[in-house]
Structure 1
Amino acid sequence: MARTNDSPFRAGFGKTPPMLAGRDSILDDFSASLAEGTWSTERTMLIEGLRGVGKTVLLNALEDAARERGWLVVSETATPGFLDRITHGHLQRAIDQLDPPATRRLTGGGTAGVSITTETVSPRQYPTTLRDQLTTLANLLTPRGILITLDEINGATIDELADFAAEHQHAIRNDQEIAFVGAGLRNAIRDALSHRSLTFLRRSLRPPIDFLDYDDATDALRIPILDRGRTIGDAALDYAVRATQGYPFLAQLIGDLAWKQSPDQTEISLDDVKHAYRRARRTMGSNIHEPSLSDLSHTDRTVLAHMAADDGPTAVSDVREALGVTAQYLNVYRQRLIDAGMIVPAGRGMVDIAMPYLREYLRDHIVSDATVNRAMSRTSFPPPPALDEESSA
């Protein structure tokens, strides 16, 4: 008998799922780079994408790959002070563990009844700049290396990021075994890379991390269910996969909710999946759509509102006419929405909303802000199932 707390799915942000579907090539290339040497381009990587596509999860997996090879992993978030935390926290603790400083030494001894004398010895004073810390630690770790990861990269700590990039570049020039992987929202990373001091990071490998295709989404749902000892029929599995629209967060959320719906049953049924789908759509609104829309300007949201009135891709000329603006003016906001991952080009002169179920959310919440929604149509992925409104949630 299954129990609700047996769920193999991890629907929370940044939680590693039981199976990291669709990211094998990135993991394989990174693991190979740790063995190939300091010249490998995969040793400096930036992971960018929409909310919920698994950026932090992939970051966790890359860290695990480094640990498996015996590398030291320094994991940080790009909040103010991260450079000091890396330098005087993570790296200093690692140096002290690998080369503990003596605190006392013997100065005298004697026979029975005669006390032994010692004196306090000051700990070794290592240089505490980031450059010197990295050099000291790299030498202590040879032939292993250091992986530094930085999540949630943004423009708020641009000066620290620039200082870090300069020291990382110096380490690479000196053939030190040091790798770096950063992650963040697509528009936040692009804004950060526009800084003139981050030329080096602009050359980072930026592997594509986006929606899953149908087969990968199927594996992400089916394999954890079978591995945990339950089953799911073909119809229920197809419904669940189409409901995810290839969105990794939805794959974990729908899988988790369907698992918990009838925990005393061996098979996860179509009704279980339909119930999970309804609940997941509401969670998408509060956890994904609301935060994404809050990052946008009023004009950005107005553009989305007009796009949401269509059931498919929207002609840019129609939006321009509705807003009464010039093509040059509208193109600024079109590009901003593309950079933010909210819309995608959909053919000549056409754009479409990128996030699954954003159109439905915006239509339900079209208040004074004129925010609207549309799920991107992907020819490689079947359309989502119809939402059964008659059944209770």
Structure 2
Amino acid sequence: MSNDSPFRAGFGKTPPVLVGRDALLRDFGDAIDLGSWGQERVTLLEGLRGVGKTVMVNALEDVARGRGWVVVSETATPGFAARISESHLPRVLRDLTGPPERRVTAAGFAGASVTTQLVGKNDGVPTLRTQIADITDLLDGRGILFTLDEISLAAREDLEHFVAELQHAIRQDREVAFVGAGLGSAITDLLAARSLTFLRRASRQLLDFLDYEDVLTAIGKPIRDAGRSIDDRSLADAAAGTQGYPFLAQLIGDLAWRANPQNPEISLADVHGAYRKARRTMGSHILEPSLRDLSNTDRTVLAAIAASPGPAKVADLRRTLGVEPRYMGVYRQRLLDAGLIYPVRHGVVDIALPYLREYLHEHVVSDATTERARRRQAFPPPPALPDAVSGEHSGDAEAP
């Protein structure tokens, strides 16, 4: 038995067991196999912070590599298009063909100087378009997968250039695919941009929270595969503490493993201690950054929603805040796009991120989606932790 934790609690790190994403992986693999007409060959992944967007990008890259495709991976920061055309694609060409040949273009006999020039398949300066053409010709039936993480309009000029070349390659029936990942609000902004309308044809995939049974597997299997044990009660509390949030599944598993790594069994006390620490980390690493970009009015509306012990009626919120329906609709949509609330049913919303309601109660902010979302209502409540002094269990989980 190794003392090393099998969990990967850092952002963007692939977990030891990837659960709840089988259909997406299968559909993408089918699109690669079936031909360039498959819609999933252009896929946009969206979701909250910590739901595993980067992990999913990594997994889709592995699907493409497993089929012999070349993968070009970038982060969508300004300059990424130049990095692709000036660094990544030339490297791919060198790997496929070896060092380029050179030809003599001028000679000076007096000084014995010779000038040479690289010889490529296409004359002139290589471009993104010509390099895609050259590489897909050399791959002969295989293709190139381009992936962009943290996609947003911050790199709009690069995106416009890249998407135009991607569209051209697809029109020419080149073997190419594209996966972009970003926050829901960023994806919404992209699709609203007139210069990026091609992306509206993409397969838009929401990465939501995990089901309870999947979380039991995500935590329990790595522990047992690594040679330790965890009883059913402890595993159930660890899973319930995540509330289906993938980041917390890795974090609680990792902290529980590290509590007493020399012991063959992870105890209930290990799990509860991990849960407390994970709640604090959730506040500083996920919740506060999620709130940072909100306006004061966004925060006021969010605080009003959090003041309700459960789902809140939009009509009641509007009366509480004393605002017109159109005004309330604008800020409701902004919070939906930011992934901080989700629609429970028509006219009713609730807090989306686990423990955000408690965090807002602890931090004054008032002054300052789907069927998958509805499934979260059936997730078991977080475990009740024993009081630090008396040892008795309290009904309320401690706030982050």
TM-score exceeds 0.5: yes
Report the AA paired with residue 102 of structure 1: E
Report the AA paired with residue 336 of structure 2: I
Query: How big is the shift at 1:291?
Result: 0.5
- Structure 1 counterpart of 2:119, from 120, 124, 149: 124
Report the AA paired with residue 118 of structure 2: P
Gap change, CA 1:376 and 1:354, over 3 Å in 2: farther
| Deviation sequence 1:63-98 (CA, Å, 0-9, x none) | 111112221100000000001011111011211222
Q: Report the 3-state secondary structure (helix = DSSP H, G, I; strand = E; otherwise coil) of the residue aligned with 2:8.
A: coil
- Structure 2 counterpart of 1:50, from 40, 48, 51: 48
Structure 1: 5+ residue stretches without partners: 106-118
Write the mapping of 1:213-228 to structure 2, written as runs, cut at 5 A. Answer: 213-228=211-226
- Structure 2 counterpart of 1:40, from 38, 41, 47: 38
Is the Cα contact below 8 Å between 2:103 and 2:118 reproduced in 1? no
* 2:265 alignment partner in structure 1: 267
| Deviation sequence 1:157-181 (CA, Å, 0-9, x none) | 1122122111111111111111100
Q: Report the 3-state secondary structure (helix = DSSP H, G, I; strand = E; otherwise coil) of the residue aligned with 2:101.
A: coil
Percent of aligned pairs sharing the same letter? 60
* 1:184 alignment partner in structure 2: 182
Is the Cα contact below 8 Å between 1:11 and 1:256 reproduced in 2? yes
Query: How big is the shift at 1:120?
Result: 7.5
Separation of aligned partners in 1, 2:317 and 2:374: 17
TM-score computed with the length of structure 2 as normaliser: 0.89
Is the Cα contact below 8 Å between 2:299 and 2:365 reproduced in 1? no
Report the AA paired with residue 73 of structure 1: V
Structure 2: 5+ residue stretches without partners: 105-113, 392-397
Separation of aligned partners in 2, 1:132 and 1:98: 15
Report the AA paired with residue 56 of structure 1: T
1:16 pairs with 2:14: yes
| Deviation sequence 1:286-336 (CA, Å, 0-9, x none) | 010001001211111101111221211112222212222111111100111
Higher mean alpha-carbon deviation, 176-185 vs 65-74, is at: 65-74
Separation of aligned partners in 1, 2:378 and 2:322: 35
Is the Cα contact below 8 Å between 1:353 and 1:376 reproduced in 2? no
Query: How big is the shift at 1:103?
Result: 4.7
Report the AA paired with residue 92 of structure 1: P
Is the Cα contact below 8 Å between 1:356 and 1:376 reproduced in 2? no
Separation of aligned partners in 2, 1:176 and 1:356: 43
- Structure 1 counterpart of 2:228, from 230, 234, 241: 230
Is the Cα contact below 8 Å between 1:33 and 1:43 reproduced in 2? yes
Gap change, CA 1:272 and 1:151, over 3 Å in 2: same
Separation of aligned partners in 2, 1:162 and 1:180: 14
- Structure 2 counterpart of 1:338, from 320, 325, 336: 336
1:208 pairs with 2:198: no
1:198 pairs with 2:193: no
Separation of aligned partners in 1, 2:193 and 2:385: 45
Where has structure 1 moved over 6 Å in runs of 4 or more? Answer: none
Query: How big is the shift at 1:356?
Result: 0.3
Separation of aligned partners in 2, 1:302 and 1:228: 46
1:366 pairs with 2:364: yes
Report the AA paired with residue 100 of structure 2: P
Separation of aligned partners in 2, 1:149 and 1:350: 36
How many equivalent pairs are there? Answer: 375
Query: How big is the shift at 1:2?
Result: 4.1
Quote the RMSD (CA, aligned, Å): 2.1
* 1:286 alignment partner in structure 2: 284
TM-score computed with the length of structure 1 as normaliser: 0.91
Higher mean alpha-carbon deviation, 316-325 vs 147-156, is at: 316-325
Is the Cα contact below 8 Å between 1:298 and 1:369 reproduced in 2? yes
Separation of aligned partners in 1, 2:101 and 2:345: 68
* 1:91 alignment partner in structure 2: 89
Q: Report the 3-state secondary structure (helix = DSSP H, G, I; strand = E; otherwise coil) of the residue aligned with 2:227.
A: coil
Separation of aligned partners in 2, 1:369 and 1:52: 27
| Deviation sequence 1:310-365 (CA, Å, 0-9, x none) | 21111222221222211111110011111111111223422111110001111111
Separation of aligned partners in 2, 1:355 and 1:322: 23
Query: How big is the shift at 1:389?
Result: 4.4
Separation of aligned partners in 2, 1:141 and 1:150: 22
